[in-house]
Amino acid sequence: MSSSVRDGGGGEELVGREKELEQVRQYVGKPHSPCLPALFVYGTSATAKTTVVRTVMEESKCRYAMINCLETYSPRVLFEQILNSLSGDTPTPDNLYGGHARCDTVYKFIKYLKGVCDSQEDPKATVYIVLDNCERLRLFRNHDLAVFLRLRELVHRNVGVILISTVIWEKFREGTGFADPLMAHFPAYTKAETLAILQRRTPRDVHPSHFRQFVSLLWDVFHGPCRDLNELAHLVALFFDKYYAPVRAGKINADNKTALFKAISPLLRAHFSSLYLRETSTAEWLAAGAGGDGDKTESTAAPSSASTTSTRGASQLHKLELPYFAKVLILAAFLASHNPARSDLAIFSKRQRKLSKQRGRSKRKAARRADTTAKFRLPTSPSTFPLSRLFAIFYSLMDEETDLTADVYSHVKSLLSLRLLTRTTTDDNFDSAKFKCTMAAEDVIALGRSVEIDVVSYLHEVNA
């Protein structure tokens, strides 16, 4: 049972996308009709944006280049990939991986693109350039995006550009020279559409109604914090065998939804703290036989707490091959999420003054802090914090003076990409954005031990 529902997958992602498919068809038109200068397709991840655009491109019979901007780390790579795709020139050992042409400036790109268009059998035929994950272009020179928006004017050919992104258009506007494209919004899937897509993964030995019952249950539990179809499909693959094992073992009737939910609910609750975190991949989980037999499933799901999952997460998280400063940043983010801002001065100034004394008494206090850890209770949900507060706590946790602002910024972005930190605002200014850390306390405490930082002693609940 596959766990991936990608924008660029097969036909099943077109469920519930009939309206959007027809809209893009109308925008693209026929191969020789005048094309739109630019179309901006946007929506949350896993909403079939790329699949719909690719489907329309193949139906239209137009020549097109489809580029994933995540694979282009510079304008030169982007320009050359477009030219290679449209011209059919593939870098190989025979041509010394040269491709169509070396192109590192906008002027050369426009010049070579004109040549590619004129080399077609019909020079007036429509050509499309599709840029997936186009938010990556914001990291390039300011004028590069403006060039693509006005590309038809610059090359004087029937060339259209389709931009695909998970970011709204307002985040792209910068400076002058921007021509607003036409918009095509792809909304998130409804519950009925999500169930229809996921139900196509029904195992052969399971009745479709029973599988749909489980998928509906999973939606009801997780749709608040998670609407990502990829993640929901991963959860289905992760937990269905656990959910259905008592039925296969003859212990619970497949129609007894209440008993089945009661058996699986501890695992579902435990997974809330690790949404989007791939502590284990779906393939590894299934290969390990995690849901293989009923007895094993029952014993795993039986405890009333999430200790099994938390222990697994704690044992693996601190083994991540993260740089030392990235690990300390996670600890700082956890403290910023669970300590009130007003307590920072008291906690960290006191800790800094007593740092040398604590090192000598650390072994003696270990047992006492273990008791304290069992007694304190964190707030039900982590709070948000600004970047300035994260850095202030980070530097307080460091044993020595450091001036690594640039490196720390890069570590924060890496943690965001790994989803160990969550960004809660859509402000394009990174410095004014707010974040939160949703990781479980057990995981963070284990990570703190790996860098010899006692996280518990910095918590407001302990120091109050």
Q: For residue 132, how far is the Cα from the chain centroid?
A: 15
State residue 141's pLDDT score: 74
In a domain, 152, yes or no: yes
pLDDT digits (tens, 9 = 90+) for 115-133: 999 888 787 889 999 999 9
Are both 346 and 303 inside the same structural domain?
no
Residue 12 has pLDDT above 50, yes or no: no
In a domain, 349, yes or no: yes
Rounded CA gap, 456 and 464, in Å? 12
Rounded CA gap, 127 and 62, in Å? 6
Task: Give strand pairing partners of 64.
Answer: 128
- Please state the rounded mean pLDDT for residues 198-226: 87
In a domain, 6, yes or no: no
Range of the domain at 256: 191-313
Q: How confident is the model at residue 23 (pLDDT cuts 50, 70, 90)?
A: very high
Highest mean pLDDT out of 99-113, 270-284, 352-366 = 99-113
Rounded CA gap, 235 and 220, in Å? 13
In a domain, 12, yes or no: no
Pair of tokens at residue 132: 């997936």
- Decide which of 359 and 453 is more confident: 453
In a domain, 8, yes or no: no
In a domain, 446, yes or no: yes
CB 167 within 8 A of CB 1: no
- Decide which of 181 and 405 is more confident: 181
The overall average pLDDT reported for the chain is: 78
Are both 262 and 167 inside the same structural domain?
no
Are both 37 and 118 inside the same structural domain?
yes
What value, to the nearest 5°, has the Cα angle with vertex 184 and ends 147 and 142? Answer: 25
Are both 23 and 167 inside the same structural domain?
yes
C-alpha radius of gyration, the chain, whole number: 27
Rounded CA gap, 251 and 253, in Å? 7
Highest mean pLDDT out of 109-123, 343-357, 373-387, 416-430 = 109-123
Residue 57 has pLDDT above 50, yes or no: yes
State residue 237's pLDDT score: 87
Domain boundary at 186, 206, 227, which?
186
Are both 165 and 205 inside the same structural domain?
no
In a domain, 119, yes or no: yes
CB environment 206-231: b (16+ within 10 A), e (fewer)? beeebbbbbbbbbbebbeeebbbbbb
Q: How confident is the model at residue 399 (pLDDT cuts 50, 70, 90)?
A: low
CB environment 368-399: b (16+ within 10 A), e (fewer)? ebeeebeeeeeeeebebbbbebbbbbbbbbee
Residue 283 has pLDDT above 90, yes or no: no
Q: Among 50-64, 174-188, 206-220, 295-309, which stretch is predicted with the lowest mean pLDDT?
A: 295-309
Rounded CA gap, 373 and 462, in Å? 8
The enclosing domain of 83 has a CATH number of 3.40.50.300
Are both 29 and 175 inside the same structural domain?
yes
Domain boundary at 155, 186, 217, which?
186
State residue 304's pLDDT score: 34
Are both 38 and 173 inside the same structural domain?
yes
Residue 165 has pLDDT above 90, yes or no: yes
State residue 409's pLDDT score: 79
Q: How confident is the model at residue 181 (pLDDT cuts 50, 70, 90)?
A: very high
Domain boundary at 265, 282, 313, which?
313
What lies within 8 Å, CB to CB, of 450 at 6+ separation is 318, 319, 327
- Please state the rounded mean pLDDT for residues 386-397: 87
Rounded CA gap, 300 and 241, in Å? 12
Q: How confident is the model at residue 377 (pLDDT cuts 50, 70, 90)?
A: low
Domain count, the chain: 3
State residue 99's pLDDT score: 74
Residue 291 has pLDDT above 50, yes or no: no
State residue 413's pLDDT score: 84
State residue 290's pLDDT score: 46
State residue 282's pLDDT score: 55
State residue 274's pLDDT score: 60
What lies within 8 Å, CB to CB, of 139 at 6+ separation is none
Pair of tokens at residue 105: 């400036």
Are both 264 and 336 inside the same structural domain?
no
pLDDT digits (tens, 9 = 90+) for 319-367: 557 888 888 999 999 999 988 888 887 887 655 545 544 544 554 454 4
In a domain, 318, yes or no: no
CB 291 within 8 A of CB 421: no
The terminus-to-terminus CA distance of the chain in angstroms comes to 50
pLDDT digits (tens, 9 = 90+) for 68-90: 988 887 888 899 999 999 988 87
Are both 180 and 201 inside the same structural domain?
no
Percent of the chain surpassing pLDDT 90: 24
Question: For 244, how many CA atoms within 13 A lie in the half-sphere containing its CB?
Answer: 21
Are both 366 and 294 inside the same structural domain?
no
Are both 177 and 198 inside the same structural domain?
no
State residue 450's pLDDT score: 85
State residue 353's pLDDT score: 45
Q: How confident is the model at residue 287 (pLDDT cuts 50, 70, 90)?
A: low
CB 444 within 8 A of CB 335: no
Are both 178 and 221 inside the same structural domain?
no
CB 401 within 8 A of CB 452: no
